[in-house]
Structure 1
Amino acid sequence: MDRLLHLSNNWDQTAFVAQYGSLFECSPWVAEKAWHSRPFRTREAMLKRMCEIVKDADEALQLKLLRAHPELGANIRMTKESVAEQRGAGLDRLERDEAYIFHQLNAKYRERFGFPFIIAVKGLTPDMIADSMQKRMMNTAEQEKERALGEVCKIASFRLEHMDINTEAS
């Protein structure tokens, strides 16, 4: 078992949420609920439990989580995790025409589904992201909500991979 997980299995709920509350965008409730399932044998087991909590949540809470995500390529205030993720995909360096295309696609997507387009951007280029957005516009509302929740879990997985023992809760 890794050191961070070993330590966090013994933390009170406040410390646990301080460490893992940012895995799901502006939704510390996921970590709050997961805390009750400790101890976790692996980070993967913890993440699996957190994703189950998200998928078992009522629709209103799921939509609140989805709507907490920033639009991709938008010049808006967002969490430090989202800033780093979008920077890694080059979404902070869009040319004017690319930014306009993202703005248009984001508006169309949000109008159709009621939440921003969500995709784990690690390893993707702006073109790949825009193509995916256009393809996913063909999904039904239920298909897209399920896909978006899956992407939320993928994003949480990437964030968990980068967690360091030297964070504030340790």
Structure 2
Amino acid sequence: MSAPPLTLALLNIMNQTGFVTALGFAFELSPWVVERAWSARPFDSIEAMHGAMMQVLNAAPLDDRLALIRAHPELAGKAAIARQLTAESTAEQAGAGLDKLTPEEFARFHDLNAAYGKRFGFPFIIAVRLNDKTSILRAMQARLSNDREAEIAEALLQIGLISKLRIQDAVTD
């Protein structure tokens, strides 16, 4: 017997534990975002619910936001090779073709991941479902010229896109 579909109506009546259990996956290994947004219920729409979560994220202390950014895996990195990604990250990276890189492409990702991590102190984040390996590599190269504050803002924007797509996949209105 499969679980009933996850609806907005059901989420609106869940206790905090149930709500976090249902949606905690949306922000990579950081269910605190969902947990803190629970009190904003009831939500009129999936968009409003995600908006409340983004308000929590944007209002969080910098250390919390950086911890969320750092919870994300490198694209085509060691965790992917070792199959240690979350189910969501595994599917997203595969969907962008990052599980089928040529040796040259893999080397390019490795080099850019290393340069990016050295420059900013956290992994490069992009909504891979909205990109392919070519556009991801192009963005990695371009974003290396950002300053740290701009790159933190861009990483959080991309996390917003990633989490929104994950929630839209899981919840029906």
* 1:41-62 CA-partner distances (Å, limit 9, x unpaired): 1000010110111111101100
Residue 34 of structure 1 is aligned with which of 27, 37, 42? 37
CA RMSD of aligned residues (A): 1.4
TM-score for the superposition, normalised by structure 1: 0.93
Partner in structure 2 of residue 158 of structure 1: 165
Query: What's the offset of the Cα at 1:3?
Result: 6.7
Structure 2: how far apart are the matches of 1:75 and 1:3?
33
* 1:124-168 CA-partner distances (Å, limit 9, x unpaired): 211110000110111110000000000000000110111057xxx
Partner in structure 1 of residue 116 of structure 2: 109
* 1:19-65 CA-partner distances (Å, limit 9, x unpaired): 11111000000111011111101000010110111111101100100
Q: Where in structure 2 are there 5+ consecutive unaligned residues?
A: none
Residue 118 of structure 1 is aligned with which of 110, 120, 125? 125
Partner in structure 2 of residue 67 of structure 1: 70
Query: What's the offset of the Cα at 1:97?
Result: 1.1
TM-score for the superposition, normalised by structure 2: 0.91
Query: What's the offset of the Cα at 1:123?
Result: 3.5
What secondary structure does 1:9 align onto?
Answer: helix
What secondary structure does 2:98 align onto?
Answer: coil
* 1:45-87 CA-partner distances (Å, limit 9, x unpaired): 0101101111111011001000000000124111000000000
The 5 A counterparts of 1:50-65 are 50-65=53-68
- Does the 8 A contact of 2:75 with 2:93 survive in 1? yes
- Does the 8 A contact of 2:92 with 2:129 survive in 1? yes
For these two proteins, the number of residue pairs brought into alignment is 164
Q: Where in structure 1 are there 5+ consecutive unaligned residues?
A: 166-170
What secondary structure does 1:94 align onto?
Answer: coil
- Does the 8 A contact of 2:76 with 2:98 survive in 1? yes
What secondary structure does 1:112 align onto?
Answer: helix
